[in-house]
Structure 1
Amino acid sequence: MIDYEKGDIVIIELKAGEIYDGILISKSAERISICSTVEYPSGKLFENICNFSIKEINTSRILSDKKDNGNNKVVNKINLNIQEYKHLTNLINSFKLIKQMDVRFYDAVQEIETAESIGIDAKGCQIGRFYKISYLIISVWNQVFVFDMVNLDQMAFNSGLQLIFENEFILKVCHNSQKLNDCLLHNYGVKMKNVFDVLLADFTLQERHKEKDPRHRSIEDLIIEYLNLPSCFVDKITDEEWTKRPLPITYQEMIATRCSFLLFLKNILQKKMNESLNKITDMFYCMATDTLNPTVEETILPKRLLQML
């Protein structure tokens, strides 16, 4: 089993809830020392070497592109490569806040409507139709947009967002789309189409793998399960608190976190859901390519492959 090595990128989650990453300088039974340290979700960079006592650390994980080889397995490895992780953390810290109907709003709509998949998170609608959205967060692959719906309200949907939400060619990625759809339909007259719900995708995989007690898991659970990242990356702020104006700085730092993870989770879940189909596809074309003189009968999908679906 391969342990952490000097120069590895390490993600440290403290018992107090803070998260840091940095380049490993040293690791002992008493402490971990890292440099080029960044705190999340604030993105604050520390120039000096940071030392963390083992007693104050809840978990530590390694970010590595090393490949597991036979019996050599990388310890507690993040399920993202270095490039993906850096892209994710940049998304969290570089969101655009839109408070009024100006050129920034229309530029955002134009960028969102050209995306194939978008992540959607809404603050303030976790009990459905009984409250309106406070902040609507939409992520494309390289940017997160935060719409202040207290200021924009219905005008945001009338000016482009409704067409995006109802566009059947744009995939909307959510966690628990039921509450969001209820709020959108009854408060804004918007019916979201072409939805990939990571909650339902995970539940389907649990059922497929015959889990003893399949359950609806929170986005924090999914981040741990599929990305092996600390759940403290995402906010645990209540709907009522998101209505505050002006929004506290600490809340602003957390606002884009959930939405930033959605497209990453979708990619992993889609891949897992397609594993059996991909396996059958490989076997199907090998029936022809591995045969010297394939006949029509040999290239027809046999019942034994259909049973794997």
Structure 2
Amino acid sequence: MEQRFKEGERILIVLNTGENFEGDYVKGTDTRIEIDNFLHYESGNKFDTKWTFYKREICSVLRITGKKNDDTSNEKVATKTVNNNILIPRAEYERLLKMTDDYIVIKTDDKTYYDSIEKLSNFESLGVVASNCEKGRGGRIKMLVLSTWKQVFIFSFHNFRTKRFPVELADILQSHYIKKVVFNGGTLVDCLLHAYNIHMNNIYDIQISHLLLMKNSTGECREELPTIGDCLTEYFNFSSTFITAALEILKDTWEIVPVEIDKLKKISKVATYLILLKDHQMSLMMKDYDQAVEAYNNLFSKSTNYHSLEMASNQKCTKQIDDLIPCALLKPNSLKSVKYA
């Protein structure tokens, strides 16, 4: 263990119990690891002390990219199998953890509610999580969570003055211009339609996109449907239990008020990573297109000034340009070239 990490590196220790502890690496031996300034994910508690974990209780250890005092926050790791790193820059990883705790709770339709609606209405994409939808058409949503790329908004309907679904939130969900990012959104769509007569439009479902990427790479879908945690592990090498405890909160009835802070943190955590996953999947699906655009721009930037001006004035699709356009994009199974990772 002591040979894998350097002092000050930020690491994530996953225990056999499924608990996650993030901290600064201090030292280690073949039998134990010591960390400092650590965070316990499941409780959200932070400790400014040292703690020792023994090999017999550790399931896995992951490196969060970059040392504590190094300017490496924008580095990306090429592979997870060799370095066993979490595959997003450390600054972004820490921002998302902070975002989970900095949620805004709206308990009634007051000024905070209308200010939040105005902000949410100006985002291109919103993550959407709702409680009680697992009960089907008879369910009544008690908690609706909308997330942007930088903020989580939790709407608790327990004390709203109207018992009807808030019309302003319904407008956002029905908007054709705001993309609603969900995970396994079938029950949510069904509940909104039959319980509230709300038809949610412009939906991006991370689970369906995951299956699409998988099938176009391997030729088939795995038997077990993926969870949000599976996707975070698959794309970014997060701990397999990183979000397990948080997902369990979706089965809660949410009848007891005031809502416990632990529950709010968990449902906020589920919503926090939706936009991140959507953006990553879109980059995979747009891989051929992005490469074609980059190659086309390189035709100009790497040519002589005379040749660049000549291409700019020529409005014809030359063979040189034709060769840049991938055939895969023209076929029904256009994602064949995307390698699922």
Q: TM-score, normalised by structure 1?
A: 0.88
Residue 62 (structure 2) aligns with: 61
SS class of match (1:36): strand
Residue 87 (structure 1) aligns with: 95
The root-mean-square deviation of aligned C-alpha atoms, in Å, is 2.8
Q: Does 1:272 align with 2:303?
A: no
Question: How far apart, CA to CA, are the structure 2 residues paired with 1:258 and 1:44?
Answer: 18
- Output one character per residue of 1:218-275: Cα deviation in whole Å (capped at 9) or x when no partner: 1121111112112433224265523230344432331211101101111111111111
Contact 1:284 1:299 in 2 (8 A): no
Residue 254 (structure 1) aligns with: 266
SS class of match (1:32): strand
Q: How far off is 1:284 after superposition? A: 3.9
Relative to structure 1, is the Cα distance of residues 256 and 70 closer, same or farther in structure 2, using a 3 angstrom cutoff? closer
Q: Which amino acid aligns with 2:322?
A: L
Specify every segment of 5 or more residues in structure 1 that has no aligned partner in the other structure, as ranges: none
Question: How far apart, CA to CA, are the structure 2 residues paired with 1:173 and 1:298?
Answer: 39
Q: How far off is 1:307 after superposition? A: 4.1
Question: How far apart, CA to CA, are the structure 2 residues paired with 1:285 and 1:94?
Answer: 41
Specify every segment of 5 or more residues in structure 2 that has no aligned partner in the other structure, as ranges: 67-71, 335-341
Relative to structure 1, is the Cα distance of residues 107 and 140 closer, same or farther in structure 2, using a 3 angstrom cutoff? same
Contact 2:250 2:267 in 1 (8 A): no
Contact 1:173 1:195 in 2 (8 A): yes
Contact 1:41 1:92 in 2 (8 A): no
Question: How far apart, CA to CA, are the structure 2 residues paired with 1:83 and 1:148?
Answer: 31
Q: Does 1:194 align with 2:206?
A: no
Q: Does 1:172 align with 2:173?
A: no
For structure 1, which segment, 229-238 or 64-73, has the greater mean C-alpha deviation from structure 2 after superposition? 64-73
Q: How far off is 1:38 after superposition? A: 1.3
Equivalence map 1:106-255=2 (5 Å): 106-152=114-160, 154-158=163-167, 160-214=168-222, 216-234=225-243, 235-237=246-248, 239-246=250-257, 247-255=259-267
**Number of residue pairs matched?**
307
SS class of match (1:38): strand
Residue 37 (structure 1) aligns with: 38
Question: How far apart, CA to CA, are the structure 1 residues paired with 2:324 and 2:50?
Answer: 61
Q: How far off is 1:212 after superposition? A: 4.4
Q: Which amino acid aligns with 1:24?
A: Y
Question: How far apart, CA to CA, are the structure 2 residues paired with 1:71 and 1:81?
Answer: 13
Question: How far apart, CA to CA, are the structure 1 residues paired with 2:78 and 2:270?
Answer: 35
Q: Which amino acid aligns with 1:64?
A: T
Structure 1 stretches of 4+ with a deviation exceeding 6 A read 68-73
Question: How far apart, CA to CA, are the structure 1 residues paired with 2:59 and 2:239?
Answer: 10
Relative to structure 1, is the Cα distance of residues 47 and 90 closer, same or farther in structure 2, using a 3 angstrom cutoff? same
Q: TM-score, normalised by structure 2?
A: 0.80
Relative to structure 1, is the Cα distance of residues 96 and 275 closer, same or farther in structure 2, using a 3 angstrom cutoff? same
Report sequence identity in percent.
24
